[in-house]
Amino acid sequence: MISPQVTLEMVLALSFAGFVQGLTGFGFGMAAVAMLPLLVGLKDAQVVIAILTGVVCAATFLSTWRHFRWREGRGLVLGAGIGVPIGFWALIYFPASLLLQLLGLLLCIFSASELWRGDRMPLRIPRALSFPIGVVSGCLGGALNVGGPPAIAYVYSQPWTKEETVSLLQVVFGVSALLRLVLLIPSQLIRSEHVWVSLLTMAPMLVATWCGGRLLTRVPGEKVKVGVFSFLFVMGLKYLFTVN
């Protein structure tokens, strides 16, 4: 049973994750999964994050849907669809401590990479790799809800507009979240309290997302990036070295 105090802490954490989403365009899942397992454990956190990721992605996609190009993104989307069930199987059958340490490692690697890369132009990843990259993204998303790094690295290496990039990422993450929910239903991991927390969180989370988007126009992008990825790196270290 999730206590009222923990519920409030979850709402605050998820609202912060929404704020990060508004600042970065893709940070909700990583920020949420960096904080929620500290409050309720990995599996409970995954249920709530899966519900709310779909809401965040849908809200973001509404503003960019005209720029979505299925032909360019189908490999990534289809690959993610195949990878999610594989990752979900790992979530069910692998020890939570092992998965949390893997989560910490991935957060550290991705954050350090982004901080080191700075404003350097990304390497161009061949489009022929979109499907396997999608599978890897789906596996990480199904197990740990951190499918973002490989998908983000791929789309930002392509010569696409910002709107095309954002719209494709919302579809990839939204499809992954929907598949996780479908898999969660027969597994009986979803409880009424998860739905209740998600409902309580939606309004403040969406407001925080909007505020993050507004702030992005006033704060230098490099400072935002350093702050967000430094936070994720510290959380990654915590999971990597303090999980029993």
Task: Please tell me the pTM assigned to this model.
Answer: 0.74
In 65-161, which residue ranges form alpha helices assigned H by DSSP?
A: 70-93, 96-117, 130-144, 148-155
State the Cα angle at 194 between 185 and 143, rounded to 5°: 60
**Structural domain boundaries in the chain:** 4-242
Cα 169 to its chain centre, rounded Å, is 10
pLDDT tens, the chain, 244 aa long: 788 899 999 999 999 988 887 776 667 887 888 888 888 887 788 888 888 888 888 877 877 788 888 888 889 999 999 999 998 888 778 787 777 788 788 778 877 877 776 555 556 778 888 999 899 888 888 877 777 778 877 887 787 777 787 788 888 888 888 888 888 888 777 888 888 999 999 999 989 888 877 776 676 656 666 776 787 788 788 778 865 5
